[in-house]
Amino acid sequence: MKNVKKVYMYPGWLRFWHWINAILFLLLILSGVSMQYSDSSSLLVPFQYAIVIHNVCGVLLSGVFLYYLYFNIKTRNYKQYIPQIRGAKEMYIKQMKYYLSGVFKGEPHPFETSPENKFNPLQRLTYFLVMFLATPGIIITGWLLMFPELAPEQIMGMGGVWPMALLHITIGFFLNLFFVGHIYLATHGETIGANFKAMINGWHLHVEHTESEEIAPAETNDNQITNENIDNLSENIPNDTQTENSVEENSNSQSIETENPDNSKNSI
């Protein structure tokens, strides 16, 4: 049997940042790609506009990133991003195995999500690289391109601005791949749209699996029940903003609501 669990996982500041960041990210990718691959004729966005869009969004993204950093420190959310070191290899393999085979068999996620541990090991690593390496990198190189006089005069015999640009587009390219991958992997929730909804209203929900089910092969009757349950569940997601607000007030503690309190073996 399965129990539906509803967890308030994503506080308001995070969701606000996430979507603003996403919009800016999209605009930056579109304008960036236009500049990168266009020739004399324009691609997606005319060159002249692409530059302005890119610069404006870049500045806004920098601001949003500072906001993100501030709240991460304040709420200690940054801890979520520190990649595990002990047993990392096994965990990465386990997670990869899930993506490459388990997911097709309808196996449950190998690492359960909880407010204390929002990300699976691969997510931890990826998000760490993206948020604390790539994003600062692209922001710094971006600002240096806006203030080229601050860029070094020379780097290993090259003019200083050019390596900044090279670094900027290289990081940009990988962030672009991340963007696509991130959206796709977000469909791996309990339903295709579950994670998207969670990121909108803050409530993460998933099905509690019993131990026997977790080790059960994919093609069993139980899976059908799982699917049915999920269908019902998605309708039960609380839309009540009041609840959300009340939760937001004590977002630091990240309250957990469970529909079936008996089943508490959720965390890893």
Partner 1 sequence: MLKRLPHVLLIFLIAFLNAQSNFAQSNEECMSCHSDPDIYMEKNGRKVKLHVRKFELARSVHSKMLCINCHVGFKADDIPHKTGDMSVNCMVCHSNPKVRHPWHPSMVKATGSKGSPDVNCVGCHGSHTISSPSDENSPLHFTKSIDFCGNCHSDVKKDHLQSEHSIQYVAHNPNAPTCIYCHKQPITKGNKLSELELKLNQEKLCLSCHLHITSIASQYANSLINYEKSVHGRALLAGNNKAAMCVDCHGTHKLQKASHPDSRINHFNVHNICGTCHAEVTKEYMESVHGKSLKAGNKESPSCSYCHGEHDIQKVPDIPQVVFTKSGMNFNIVVNNRMVYCVSCHSNEEMMKKYGLATVDKAHNWLPRISSHWDRVRCVDCHSSIEPPYRSHDILPPERTVKRCESCHSMNSMLMNTLYRHQKTLSREKYGFINGTILSDAYVIGVTRNIYLNIVSIGIFILVIFGILVHASLRAYFSIKRKKLAEKNI
Exposed, middle or buried: residue 29 (CB in 10 Å: 0-12, 13-18, 19+)?
A: buried
Q: Count interface residues toward partner 1 (CB under 8 A).
A: 46
Q: How far is the CB of 216 from partner 1 (least distance, A)?
A: 12
Beta-bridged to residue 208, according to DSSP, are 3
Candidates 247, 225, 150, 229; CA nearest to 191 is: 229
Contact call for residues 96 and 126 (beta carbons, < 8 A): no
Which of 86/184 has CB closer to partner 1?
A: 184
Site string for partner 1, 120-139 (x = CB under 8 A): --------------------
Q: Of these, 51, 88, 96, 129, which contacts partner 1 (CB under 8 A)?
A: 51
Q: Of these, 166, 236, 249, 264, which contacts partner 1 (CB under 8 A)?
A: 166
Compute CA 67 distance to the chain's CA centroid, rounded to the nearest angstrom.
16
Q: How far is the CB of 234 from partner 1 (least distance, A)?
A: 16
d(CA 61, CA 59): 5
Residue 26 within binding range of partner 1, rule CB under 8 A? no
Q: Of these, 83, 115, 160, 238, which contacts partner 1 (CB under 8 A)?
A: 160
Question: Could you identify the residue written with the tokens 């991460």?
Answer: 72
Q: Of these, 191, 201, 227, 255, which contacts partner 1 (CB under 8 A)?
A: 227
> Which range, of 6-14, 206-214, 216-224, 248-256, touches partner 1 by CB under 8 A?
216-224
Candidates 65, 57, 49, 59; CA nearest to 23 is: 57
> Which range, of 8-16, 100-108, 124-132, 196-204, touches partner 1 by CB under 8 A?
100-108
Q: Which helix (H) or strand (E) holds 68?
A: helix 47-74
Site for partner 1 in 27-46 (CB under 8 A): 35-37
Residue 12 within binding range of partner 1, rule CB under 8 A? no
> Which range, of 80-88, 109-117, 125-133, 154-162, touches partner 1 by CB under 8 A?
154-162
Report H helices in the chain: 12-37, 47-74, 88-97, 103-105, 121-129, 135-146, 161-185, 194-201, 211-215, 221-236, 241-249
Residue 217 within binding range of partner 1, rule CB under 8 A? no
